[in-house]
Each structure stands twice: as structure tokens, then as C-alpha cells.
Structure 1
Amino acid sequence: MTLLHSPTLDAPEKSDLTLGFLPLMDCAPLVIAKEKGFFSEVGLNVQLSREGSWASIRDKVMLGLLDGAQMLAGIPLASTLGLGSPRIPMVTAFSIGLNGNAITLSRELLAEIDELGHHPSDSSAAGLKQLIAYRQASGRPKITLAMVYTYSAHSYLLRYWLSAAGIDPDNDINLTVVPPPQMAVTMKKGLIDGYCAGEPWNSVAQEMGIGSPVISGYQIWNNCPDKVFAVLESWHDAHPATHQALICALIQASNWLDMPQNSEEALNILLGHAYLGPALSMLSHPQLKQGNRLFFRYAASYPWRSHALWFLEQMQHSQQLKEETDLQQVACQVYRPDLYRSVASKMKLSHPTIDFKPEGFHDNEWVLQGSAGAVTMGSDLFFNGGTFEPNRL
């Protein structure tokens, strides 16, 4: 893997930008684009603003206090639909990698499951289902599990995992929202029994001795999407060249991050106090690639409309989306692979030429015909053998 071609782009309409991020491993493309000069190479002067919650990032982008941000993939979809916030359309033309999440259960909960005869290393939720039934029969309180945001990959992966074992996420347990940096301390206080979150917060719980990851997002869905870089649709319309420059810089940063020789330097940059310092300082051996995280390989930065459609269908299955909605129309409005392809072509980067792809059919690497040769893709199996094949437009 080598550095990509630096194209000649139109001058950005706005060069001084403020972008938001949360202290998670996958803020790395934004951090590296700034610290390694990829933003400045395309004429952008970027300041990164560390935020405390996903709701804060969503609201600040909506209010124009942030030009764009690292976001959960569900945020621009939910905002465009008016779910949990005013109906304000957003777009994404860049996926911030694959994988990186895990489900962590508390030490006490794992001990209870073990007492019922289920080994804690069992990655299914079968033991949890038995414990739920036992607690119900004995009149004990429901188990409480947290996710980072209602409309997030974490929420849908957690629901998918629970449902596969016959657990009703809306009735058999309590589901609550906790910002990622507060997950471990909230579990330590006994306020939640487990959570689904991105790294480093699963590793932090393990280092603190208060819980252990039982299954990773990768195990639930091989090479599952998680975060995106998103802006308001109106912001894109007013700043198309600036948006193009941002996409170019983020592609360069993601490619740089997936070069093995850069891992140590990237970690040292992320360890800076302004980024992930306080969280990573708690870990004995922090790793950038925890949870099978990829930033560039397997077209990890490509904004697949089929991924958007999967999230939208999960919203529908969870009864979060109550009104009749054309899911494909929303997926195509919010996810803009056409913008990605425009930039990738100028960078002479071979990229997918389709917007939708099936999931759950490949147990190993496979090849997709790209714009300038083959694009190698990764496995995409669901842990329960499920498949997802979106209808083509």
C-alpha cells in the first residue's frame, strides 16, 4: 500500500473549518488528516473539536457550530427523517472504516451466567436469555444494557445479537443510552450491566477489571460499518469544492492508517491529550486495530447505500420508523457514493462503481470489479447465518 495520487481540486469555498469528533479509535482519520498535513495539502485549515456525546455532535452540526463531524452512521439518516431531532437533511460521502465495536458485560453479570451453567466465553446470548428468565421468575429487576445512541450501529448490533437468542430487546431488558466516554464508569457504579460501544471503551472495562467483551461487532457481522463523516445537505450545496477536498484528505488519511508501518506513529498521535490521551493511558497495550478495525482496506471508506438501507431496515424492525417511508429514496439521498467516486477518480484510485452490495454471502475475501481493476472485499458473514440482499434501483 502506497500514498495515493494527490489530485488538483477546485479551490475550496471555505478553507477555515471546525470538525467534531468523539474520543474513540475511529476518530483517527480526522486526527491523522490534520496532524499529517492531508487537510492542509488540499487547502483546508481544520480545527478539531472534541465533543462529549453524539447528541452534542448532531446538534452542533445542525446549528452550524461545526462544519461537519465524525458521526454514527445512523445519525445523518435519523436526522434526515426527523427521528430524535428536527428534520434536517444530512449527507455522507465517506465511511469512517469498518468494525471496532464490541458487547461488554459486567463481571457480576458474567458470574451469574456462569452459575447457570453457561461458560463466560460463550459468545451467544443464550446464557443471558436463561438469566433473564431466572430473574423474571424470582422477581428481580431487569438487566440494563446500554448503547451509545438510539440510532447507531451499536444499537442495531446489540438488538440483532439479543434477538438471535430469542430475547426481546424492548421488553425483556432495559435499554438505555450512555455516551461512550462514560460507559465504563457507569458500569463500575452498577447503573448498567453491560454495553455495546466502540474501542477503547471495551478494553478500558477489561483493564479496570469490571467487565469483559463477550462478542465483537466483527463477530456479529464481519466487516460491519459503523461511523461516517457527515455534513448538512445545505452545507454541501453551499460548499461542494470544500466537501470534495475533505473527502480527498480523509481518503489519504485512511490509506495512511492502514499501512502497518504507521501504526505506532498513529497511536502516539492519538495518545495526545487533545484526542484519546485520558482513555488510552488506562490501557497496558493500546492498539489501533482493536476489534478488526479497518480504515481503507476492503473499500472501508466507501459509503455503500446498501449499508444505509440495512440501518434503515433495522430502524423499521425496531419500530423506530413508524410512518410509511421509501427506504431506498432516503438511502440514496443521504449516502452519496457519487461524490466519493468523483474524488477517487481524480485521485486515480480504483473504486466500486455500484452503490449496493449483498451481505452475508462471503466467508472470505472476494473480488468486485472496480473503476480501474479489481477491488478486493472482505468477508461479510452474519454470526447467525443471516443474509441481506438489497433490491437494486
Structure 2
Amino acid sequence: MTHSVRAAFIPLLDASLLIAARECGFAEEEGIDLHLLRETSWANVRDRMAVGHVDVAHMLAPMPIAANLGLTPFSTPMIAPMALGLGGNAITVSAELHHEIGVAGVDDASAAGAGLRQAIARRAKSGRPVLRLGVVHAHSSHNLELRYWLAASGISPERDVDIVILPPSFMPDALAQGDLDGFCVGEPWNTMAVARGAGRILTVKHAIWANSPEKVLSMTRRWADENTGTVNALMAALYRAARWCGDPANGEALAGILSGPAALNVKAGVLTEALSGPARFVAFERAATFPWESHALWFYSQMVRWGMVTHTSDNALTARQTYRPDIYRTSIGAAGGLVPNANAKVEGALMRAETAGASGGMLMLGPDGFFDGRIFDPDALDAYIRQQTL
């Protein structure tokens, strides 16, 4: 029996799993007739799923958490039973600002932050306008991690810069026109800006928080409850797609698939460069598709930090329960995949890759360090939130 599934996505590299699942036949082999609907803005993706126009979505990792915390127009409960990869973001700035900051390489987030702080101070002293930085949505890893990096670098995200919202594919044009001084966005839009000569990559998500979450497969709780077999089959297809996408031998073929007009509609050469570039999108390795509850709680801690939601035990529980490793364990375990034994981990504790217990064998996890050396223990959430500064 074939099950029809409608899925919304934004044209980004980390939509690869959904696109490859359809184009490479993994969805069909699992009994899923997968219909992909390309959207421009994350608000459209969220709202179309909330009102039932689509069944599932390629979604910003913090977005279903925000929805369940009442931060969105609709009160439809959402879940995230699967992640869609790790990394893949970068911070790109104008060529002029990059020259002013004066750092070489993208892997030293501390040096990049220090250089940006000094550039901001010089601009303030000379009376120049504050820098305008673009992110894709308030409830995005881009916004929360950009703010984390800025604050840890001695830059106030509230006072020292102006953070604005823009769809991902608009970022290179906005930078080229001078409407933005920089942006945090997923690939291939950083590589696109560099290829056009509009900007240069300053640092990458991996340098701020190594192997950190980015997008999730999201769906309404009701749809998941009413379609358990379809959910299991879809996730099995996406797991197979993740394995295929994560194999470097398939990079050229993946770039060709993603370049299509119904997919990312970007030249294959740009996509090939983005797939192998410094932003380091991880599709399969490092348990890249597992929905760690500790990831959900870290995003929640940053929502609290920046005044999006009040910290209560009920809100923390809501955030934790948005991510559903139990569904992943059932679906992917039945499909023969390796699944971590734990539902959460201490984030930032792994300075190098290490093995961890998993059903059916061992998994390689990490590194997962934060650039400032901080540790996030989900069992010490209250203390972590108290220690945060604005």
C-alpha cells in the first residue's frame, strides 16, 4: 500500500534528505508517494503545516518548540521525530566589513568575534550606523546561535547591531545591494554570495557549536498519531536518503539533483562547492538524524535568554517533549539503523569524536564543543539559564 505525503521545504542544502528520498526512489521503495512543495519563507512552511496544507515539513530546529510554547499564530501542537542533519550554516559579511575585521580563515570563531567587536567600536566612535545582520527567522538556530556568538564575543545583539529577518534565498542580493552588512544563513546561499563577489564567509556554525543541529522533520502531533505507519515508512526513507547524501562519492550526483528547477534551482557547480565547503553540512554521520532532547533544551534556554518565553518547569518540559527520540527509536530501529541509547547528552563536552553506545553497535559522536568552552548539561538547565548574560 502506498501512502501519499505532502512535504514543504525551503531551498537549502539540508533539504537534501527530502529531495533525495523522492528523486533517488527511497520514498517509493518504502511505500511513500512523496510530494514536495517549495516555499520561500519559514513562516509559510510553519503555517501551511499548522493548517493542514502539508503533512510534514523541513523546518528550523527551534520552530516546533516555539509553536508548542505559544509563540506562533496557531496553537497546533507540533513534534520533531527526526533531525535533518548537522551544521551547514555560516556567517557571511560584505567584502568591506571582512577587510575591516581582518581575520583569515573561518574556523576561529573567537578571532572573528573579537575582530567584529573592534570594527563595531570603531564605527560607533566615528558615528557610522550600526551593522545590519540578517537571519532567516526569529525562531531559528541562525538567530539563536548568532546571538550566542555575539554575546560571548562582547557584542550586544540588542544594542550593538540590528538583526533583521529575511528569507534565505534573498540574502545574497540584500548583501550585494548594501541592505545588509552580513547574514547568518544555510548553504548554498553563503557560497552563492561569495561566488557573486558580494561577500566573504567570516565564520561557520561548526566553529561556534560543532556538529550542532539545524533543521528537523516536523509534523503536527495529531497527524503523527493518526499516521504511525506512514511516519515510520517516511523516516526509514529519509534515513536511507541521509546515508546516500552523506557519502562523498554521491556529491556530484546530489548536486545535480538539487540543481533542478523544482529543487534549489542553483547551478550544480555552486552546489558542489557548497557541499564540500567550510560550512560542513553533515547528513548522516555523528547521529546527524537523531532528535536529541538536549538540543531542544539548549534552543529553549536561548529563547528564555532573549526574552521570547518565560522559564518555567512546564515550558521546559514542553520544549523537551517536542523532540521525539522515542518515535525515531521505533522507526529507525525497525529499519536496522543505529540509534543512540540515550535521549539527551551533555552538549559541549566532546572535544573530539568519541564512540557511544547504540542499539546494534556503536556510534561515533562529536566533537560538539562551543567556541567559548561552555558546557550545557540538560539536567542543570536552571543553573545554565541563571548564568546567562544579555
* Corresponding residue of 1:177: 165
Would the aligned equivalents of 2:94 and 2:198 in 1 still touch at CA under 8 Å? yes
Aligned pairs for 1:273-284 within 5 A: 273-277=261-265, 279-280=266-267, 283=270
Would the aligned equivalents of 2:256 and 2:268 in 1 still touch at CA under 8 Å? no
Q: Distance in 2 between matches of 1:344 and 1:190?
A: 46
Q: Distance in 2 between matches of 1:43 and 1:339?
A: 19
* Corresponding residue of 1:271: 259
- Stretch of structure 1 that moved more, 174-183 or 120-129: 120-129
Question: Residues 119 and 335 of structure 1: is their aligned pair in 2 closer, same or farther, counting only changes over 3 Å?
Answer: closer
Mapped pair 1:63 → 2:42: no
Unaligned 5+ runs, structure 1: 1-10
- Residue among 47, 50, 54 paired with 2:42: 54
Aligned pairs for 1:1-393 within 5 A: 15-114=3-102, 123=109, 124-277=112-265, 279-280=266-267, 283=270, 285-290=272-277, 291-322=279-310, 324=312, 326-391=314-379
Q: Summarize deviations over 1:36-86 as a string: whole Å, max 9, x none.
A: 111111211111111011111011101111111100001111111111432
Would the aligned equivalents of 2:304 and 2:311 in 1 still touch at CA under 8 Å? no
Q: Distance in 1 between matches of 2:341 and 2:16?
A: 26
State, as a whole percentage, how many aligned pairs show the same letter: 38
Under a length normalisation based on structure 1, what TM-score does the superposition of the two structures give? 0.91
The residue identity in structure 1 corresponding to 2:179 is L
Q: Summarize deviations over 1:130-170 as a string: whole Å, max 9, x none.
A: 22222223322111101111011111111111111111101
Would the aligned equivalents of 1:280 and 1:286 in 2 still touch at CA under 8 Å? no
Specify the SS of the correspondent of 2:155. coil
Unaligned 5+ runs, structure 2: 382-390
Residue correspondences, number: 377
Q: Distance in 1 between matches of 2:313 and 2:200?
A: 39
Specify the SS of the correspondent of 2:368. coil
- Stretch of structure 1 that moved more, 190-199 or 118-127: 118-127
RMSD value, Cα: 1.9
Would the aligned equivalents of 1:309 and 1:327 in 2 still touch at CA under 8 Å? no
Cα offset for 1:289? 4.1
The residue identity in structure 1 corresponding to 2:250 is N
Question: Residues 113 and 288 of structure 1: is their aligned pair in 2 closer, same or farther, counting only changes over 3 Å?
Answer: closer
The residue identity in structure 2 corresponding to 1:364 is R
Q: Summarize deviations over 1:339-365 as a string: whole Å, max 9, x none.
A: 010012212222112111011122211
Specify the SS of the correspondent of 1:295. coil
Would the aligned equivalents of 2:304 and 2:310 in 1 still touch at CA under 8 Å? yes
Q: Distance in 2 between matches of 1:352 and 1:232?
A: 24
Specify the SS of the correspondent of 1:154. helix
